[in-house]
Structure 1
Amino acid sequence: MTTASPPLPAPAPRTTYGQVLAEPRFRLLFLTRTIGITADSLRITTFSALVYSGTGSALLSALAFGAGFLPQLLGSLLFGSLADRFPPRALIAGGYLLEGTAAALLALVRMPVAAGLAVVAVLALATPAFGGASARLVARWLSGDAYVLGRSLNSMASSGAQLFGLTLGGAAVAAVGPRAALAAGAVMHLLCAAAVRLRLPRLAAEPEAGGGGAMRTSLRGTGALLRHRPVRRLLFAQWLPSAFVAGAEGLIIAYAGSHGFPSGSYAVLMAALPVGMLLGDLLVGRRLRPATRERMVVPLIALMGLPLAGFAADPGRPLSAALLLLSGSGFAYGLGLQREFLAALPEQGQGQAFGLLGSGNMTFQGLGPAFFGTIGAFTGTGWAMALAGLGALLTATWILTWRRTDPGEPTHPTPEP
């Protein structure tokens, strides 16, 4: 017989961003993560430019741009348990060290394109373990509304750092060339590794539940998470909306070109989404109470999709930018799911769960542009972007349905023996 799911604890009183940043351990993780994402974006841009300058191939340049995304899901499946099996300080510092080493290799060693792509792909396989360990520490050190705002700060920093890193990458390539720009990114990663190693407290790894190697434990843990309906629902609730919007985002350049917009105007449209994300997170995180954020999940996902539906009418430049800005602001829906997601996770293995969340998100965001780009070849870019918006609206409807008709399951996955 199915038992009723224990109710979530009542939302904690509203916290401020200043109170969250007052926690020195979180502040260190936040600052190093912001610098690290900037360096990642710098590496992505400059490596893609390096490949294009050496080969003249748009395809190889695109592969260089995306090589660090899709392998992350495989890395989470095979190595995600390392986020809980190793001491977090060593794992996080080692992750920055590995990223810095990879960037230095790309900058200093003249290797074949295939070898460079392999370096980036191997790094992507290990990324979920590093990110999962960091997210596990945030969940340990922040609680209640402070945890939600901590995730909000990380989301805003991620958007801002990606935007800044991509812009910096273009400027650096033009000023000093791609190899020197890659070397600068390597230095940034190495500084992050040193800061974590010297300033983050030394913590022990979690006690292991059951035996087995890293791959077996990772596969078993991922299976347990995905078989548990509340966790599975919350994972897809966070993966799907961003995948649909990423699908539309991947068509912005083609939309601008097919509609005769002036050269370079696509950059304004590309920037509108992350700017909207920053504004949405800031507004929802600062102005809304915890319970209100959780009630706003479905309306905010609808806000992601509705503006994209407007591209079926082929809007001009100003209206297109406004629609993308509105769509980006809906990304703040994730703040309303953080407390519920954390409550659904098992006591052990949270690092792997956070790694799976991040790697799945990157993978779905990589698949979205490919899927809707294919549709756009037949329907035109405007209609394809509108269909991506429809996908987000259908996701909002699905979430609304299961929130109203929850069958009531145990909060945490049952670990396998």
Structure 2
Amino acid sequence: MTTASPPHTAPTPRTTYRQVLAEPRFRLLFLTRMLGVIADSLRITTFSALVFAGTGSALLSALAFGAGFLPQLFGSLLLGSLADRLPPRALIAGGYLLEGVAAALLALVRMPIAAGLAVVSVVALATPVFSGASGQLVARWLNGDAYVLGRSLNNMASSGAQLFGLTLGGAAVAAVGPHAALAVGAALHLLCAAAVRLRLPRLAAQPTDGNPPGGGALRKSLRGTGALLGHRPVRRLLFAQWLPSAFVAGAEGLIVAYAGSHHFPSGSYAVLMACLPVGMLLGDLVVGRWLRPAARERMVVPLIVLMGLPLVGFAGDPGRPLSVVLLLLAGCGFANGLGLQREFLAALPERGQGQAFGLLGSGNMTVQGLGPVCVGAFAAVSGTGGAMALAGLGALLTAAWILTWRRTPEREPSADLEASAQA
């Protein structure tokens, strides 16, 4: 008599990018996001060039560039709860509509520089609400590893679309002038708004225990942000995603000065600037496509090390070819964020995820705006290469900090965090 062998359990099949893109609702959000990032890059660079052409001031031009990023943190703090309290289709379509109207105003109305900066700042203030609503839908429609790959696709789309948008911006300004280029960006945003309004299913806002969706938005946003930052697992996961990006952005802000101080050939800075987003594309593709979920999560610290260690190499003042390699490697390290996505989502309350995703994005934009200011302050003392190396050291210290964590990815959100999200 033979003994039957135990049934063999087949390994869980690996999720693929094709399967993620087969979800039509995610595909719509993905494509409109890609168009939106192209339009954003076109608007930001063109408006900055327009301000410089009108004033000759590098400071005002830089302020025009940064006006689309820095106000986002205040928008998340003051308005973030609306991402969970209003219907997501209306929010996302309204966001693209607002961006389209803003670009159209900049293109068609000859306004003072201060008024133009105010228009861009208002859009940035509202951005966390729209992006939070979109992030909440992605988390709702994609489960498990599909969610992580969805985030990977969004990262790659943002990097590629940003590169294309910057290139398109320069070409459009040269070919048709800044005002017509802004009109092109406005048309792209309006196209996204129409696609979301017509193709995205109508979904109700999350229940809020009988409270009216619009009441007390400021109070609820501040309370929700305080609860998120006061909950240790969420707080540390936010900073784990913010800090490495801030340090690398600080080094990125010195690339032009580094190329100039080392007398690289004309135009070299543009090649060096492109290395980080190209590396981001490659890193997300490799880590998202070929590594399994557990491997991605084990690679978080090594990938943050990969962000920082090449930047430390700039202390030796490498030449142009080696600088290209170092920046490409640093860009690949950005894929560390894929290994944090499941843990971050598990740490969030069921309600209030939209505000959390808005805070993640707005905080990231803010620290990437502050990074070049902080790192640049050291360049006067240590030189550009030394300051870039210092930024790399900051990323390495972040990796060491993450190693000290007690990894508890399955921990449930605390009662006060859940209660605040529902309040």
Structure 1 residue aligned with 2:121: 121
Q: In the alignment, is the contact (CA less than 8 A) between 1:20 and 1:150 conserved in 2? A: yes
Q: In the alignment, is the contact (CA less than 8 A) between 1:14 and 1:290 conserved in 2? A: no
Whether 1:361 and 2:364 are equivalent positions in the alignment is yes
Q: In the alignment, is the contact (CA less than 8 A) between 2:156 and 2:280 conserved in 1? A: yes
Structure 2 residue aligned with 1:27: 27
Matches within 5 A, 1:57-68: 57-68=57-68
Structure 2 residue aligned with 1:140: 140
Paired with 1:270 and 1:101, the residues of 2 have a C-alpha distance of: 30
Structure 2 gaps of 5+ residues are 1-10
Counterpart of 2:189, as a letter, is: H
Cα distance, 1:209 vs structure 2? 4.6
Structure 1 residue aligned with 2:5: none
Paired with 1:287 and 1:403, the residues of 2 have a C-alpha distance of: 27
Counterpart of 2:208, as a letter, is: E
Q: In the alignment, is the contact (CA less than 8 A) between 1:12 and 1:144 conserved in 2? A: no
Paired with 2:242 and 2:80, the residues of 1 have a C-alpha distance of: 18
Q: In the alignment, is the contact (CA less than 8 A) between 1:251 and 1:373 conserved in 2? A: yes
Paired with 1:162 and 1:117, the residues of 2 have a C-alpha distance of: 21
Q: In the alignment, is the contact (CA less than 8 A) between 2:311 and 2:391 conserved in 1? A: yes
Counterpart of 1:206, as a letter, is: Q
Paired with 2:116 and 2:57, the residues of 1 have a C-alpha distance of: 15
Structure 2 residue aligned with 1:233: 236
Deviations 1:37-67 (A, max 9, x none): 0000000000001101111111111100110
Aligned residue among 349, 357, 361 for 2:352: 349
Counterpart of 1:411, as a letter, is: P
Counterpart of 1:227, as a letter, is: G
Q: TM-score, normalised by structure 1?
A: 0.95
Cα distance, 1:213 vs structure 2? 0.9
Paired with 1:77 and 1:13, the residues of 2 have a C-alpha distance of: 40
Q: In the alignment, is the contact (CA less than 8 A) between 1:12 and 1:145 conserved in 2? A: no
Structure 1 residue aligned with 2:330: 327
Structure 2 residue aligned with 1:393: 396
Whether 1:375 and 2:375 are equivalent positions in the alignment is no
Whether 1:411 and 2:413 are equivalent positions in the alignment is yes
Structure 1 residue aligned with 2:70: 70
Structure 1 residue aligned with 2:50: 50
Cα distance, 1:411 vs structure 2? 3.4
Paired with 1:86 and 1:410, the residues of 2 have a C-alpha distance of: 26
Cα distance, 1:14 vs structure 2? 2.3
Q: TM-score, normalised by structure 2?
A: 0.94
Aligned residue among 339, 342, 351 for 1:336: 339
Q: Cα RMSD (Å) of the superposition?
A: 1.5
Aligned residue among 290, 293, 296 for 2:296: 293
Paired with 2:87 and 2:16, the residues of 1 have a C-alpha distance of: 30
Q: In the alignment, is the contact (CA less than 8 A) between 1:206 and 1:348 conserved in 2? A: yes
Paired with 2:231 and 2:285, the residues of 1 have a C-alpha distance of: 32
Structure 1 residue aligned with 2:3: none
Paired with 1:163 and 1:281, the residues of 2 have a C-alpha distance of: 16
Whether 1:101 and 2:101 are equivalent positions in the alignment is yes
Counterpart of 1:309, as a letter, is: V
Paired with 2:178 and 2:89, the residues of 1 have a C-alpha distance of: 31
Q: In the alignment, is the contact (CA less than 8 A) between 1:79 and 1:215 conserved in 2? A: yes
Paired with 1:144 and 1:13, the residues of 2 have a C-alpha distance of: 12
Counterpart of 1:145, as a letter, is: D
Q: Secondary structure at 1:380's aligned position in 2?
A: helix
Cα distance, 1:12 vs structure 2? 6.8
Cα distance, 1:379 vs structure 2? 1.0
Counterpart of 1:241, as a letter, is: P
Paired with 1:134 and 1:249, the residues of 2 have a C-alpha distance of: 28
Structure 2 residue aligned with 1:185: 185
Cα distance, 1:208 vs structure 2? 1.4
Radius of gyration: which is bigger? 2
Paired with 2:12 and 2:363, the residues of 1 have a C-alpha distance of: 29
Q: In the alignment, is the contact (CA less than 8 A) between 1:245 and 1:304 conserved in 2? A: yes
Deviations 1:181-211 (A, max 9, x none): 0000000000000000000000000011575
Structure 2 residue aligned with 1:271: 274
Counterpart of 2:235, as a letter, is: R
Stretches of 4+ aligned residues off by more than 6 angstroms: 406-409
Cα 1:407–1:187 change in 2 (3 A) is closer
Deviations 1:283-338 (A, max 9, x none): 00011011000000000000000000000000000000100000000000000000
Identity %: 83
Aligned residue among 255, 258, 262 for 1:252: 255
Paired with 1:114 and 1:179, the residues of 2 have a C-alpha distance of: 17
Q: In the alignment, is the contact (CA less than 8 A) between 1:224 and 1:415 conserved in 2? A: no
Cα distance, 1:402 vs structure 2? 1.1
Structure 2 residue aligned with 1:5: none
Structure 1 residue aligned with 2:130: 130
Paired with 1:403 and 1:17, the residues of 2 have a C-alpha distance of: 31
